[in-house]
């Protein structure tokens, strides 16, 4: 996992893989406050941005998830959210089997759990070995969040 802030990372995009740099440049160069929720292609089906708005929920009410075919770049446009995280391990118990069409598997819990608060301008790059539980309410209660998730195909990461 990589955690960063768009302002601080802008000068150092060169150290990221090319597909991640492409995603970060897309995120940096668009005003998502004027765009409608939905999918926006970056590099065909190999890299797609999904703009979404929602209210955060109790952190432990969501199921931890992981992906096999895509890397997530989760970027907070506005608001704050708590994201639970842990590395993939044999200790994790699958509660919903892998859905190949949606490229997602759900787990009962995070072992061990780490909490990360993401605020406007922050991003997280999550690889298939990063089990995560996004959309949690930070301390202080539910937040309205605008977030863009860029899905980058693993094959495009070369």
Residues 93, 97, 100, CA angle at the centre, nearest 5°?
A: 140
> Stretch 104-133: mean pLDDT, rounded?
96
- For the chain, how many structural domains are there in total? 1
Specify the residue for token string 């890397």: 71
Note the pLDDT tens digit of each residue in 47-94.
999 999 999 999 889 999 999 999 999 999 999 999 999 999 999 999
Residues 15, 17, 20, CA angle at the centre, nearest 5°?
A: 105
pTM of this structure: 0.94
Cis peptide before 57 (omega within 30 of 0): no
Here the CATH number for the domain that contains residue 19 is 2.60.120.370
| Backbone dihedral angles phi then psi of residue 82, each to the nearest 5 degrees | -100, 130
Answer yes or no: are the C-beta atoms of 85 and 116 closer than 8 Å: yes
CB atoms within 10 A of CB 41: 11
Q: Which domain holds residue 43?
A: 2-157
Question: Rounded to an integer, what distance in angstroms lies between the CA atom of residue 100 and that of residue 77?
Answer: 29
The two tokens of residue 69 are 């075919």
């Amino acid at each position: 996992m990589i955690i960063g802030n768009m302002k601080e990372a802008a000068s150092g995009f060169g150290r990221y893989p090319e597909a991640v740099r492409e995603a970060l440049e897309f995120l940096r160069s668009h005003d998502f406050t004027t765009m409608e929720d939905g999918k926006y292609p970056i590099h065909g089906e190999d890299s797609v941005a999904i703009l979404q708005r929602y209210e955060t929920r109790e952190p432990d009410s969501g199921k931890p998830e992981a992906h096999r075919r895509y890397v997530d770049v989760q970027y907070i446009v506005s608001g704050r959210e708590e994201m639970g995280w842990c590395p993939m391990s044999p200790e994790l118990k699958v509660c919903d089997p892998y859905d190949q069409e949606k490229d997602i598997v759900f787990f009962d819990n995070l072992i061990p759990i780490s909490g990360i608060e993401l605020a406007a301008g922050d991003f997280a790059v999550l690889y298939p070995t990063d089990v995560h539980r996004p959309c949690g309410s930070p301390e202080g209660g539910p937040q309205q969040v605008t977030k863009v998730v860029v899905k980058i195909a693993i094959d495009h990461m070369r």
